[in-house]
Chain A
Amino acid sequence: MRINNKTKYVFIISIVVVIVSASIFSFFLFFINKQGDRLEEKVSLLEENNKKEAAYRNITRTATETEEERLLLGRKFLKGNDDTIVFLSEIETLAPKFGLTFQTKALDGVVGKAGDQEAVKATFAYSGKKNSVLDFTKVMENLPYHSYIEALTLSEIEEGLWEGTITAFITTKSP
């Protein structure tokens, strides 16, 4: 069978049109998909930023609302050597008010049991009347700092004269 020229021409044109159409279609498909991916990336980035912004707002609000508590709690820690010296002089001034003779036996900077807190380990010896010694012991137990008593010895060294030796840990915190 012979194909005439006109049919050949139409056939070639059809093939060209199909190829061009398929190419344009593929290009748009690829382009739109790529744009879709970019959009998704940007949307997720936007979501992440929104979350961060919300967290920031929340933290800022919490920080503002809790400023008083944080200041109060911050004062319960010795900050550096200056605070330690102030604390010691405070205790040394305090003891005579209870009618006690007072002596600082030892003072060390130590790391707490958990290993993540620094503390001042102080050993004090004080002597005087029984009630004074007991009350001063209570004062030491209730120091307005983050502290605890590691060891305590109370003994009557002579008639009516008592002596207390106390080892206390007072937590320090960098200013």
Chain B
Amino acid sequence: MDADLSHWIPGLFNYWVAVTLFVLGLVIVIDSHNMIKKLIGLNLFQSAVFLLFITMGKVSGGHPPILDPSIEIYSNPLPHVLILTAIVVGVATTALGLALVVRIRRVYGTVDENKIQHNPDVEPEIIP
């Protein structure tokens, strides 16, 4: 690995951002009691991985992958295509999560996980 700091920090800037977002998102998912905030954390977490994919598709000096005789180096379009799919999946997950939260709020009157867990009045007692 290159010990040159000037390469390390700006050269890997996107990776640093990805790692930061990744950890931040995961912390929000684990730490937050608010169901909506949890989903926001989840989105952040997924975006970090998307960023990582998109970064690896960039070839230094490469042009957008549109065929042109004057261009010799192209960026790799495959990771971008993959992430397009993953973004759709992420949107679907968020939408479903929010739909569930809407219904949870309608039934329990709150989106705070702790209030649902610790307050027996909130939880309807239905068999089983």
Partners in one complex: no
Residues of chain A touching chain B, judged by Cβ–Cβ distance below 8 Å, are none
Residues of chain B touching chain A, judged by Cβ–Cβ distance below 8 Å, are none
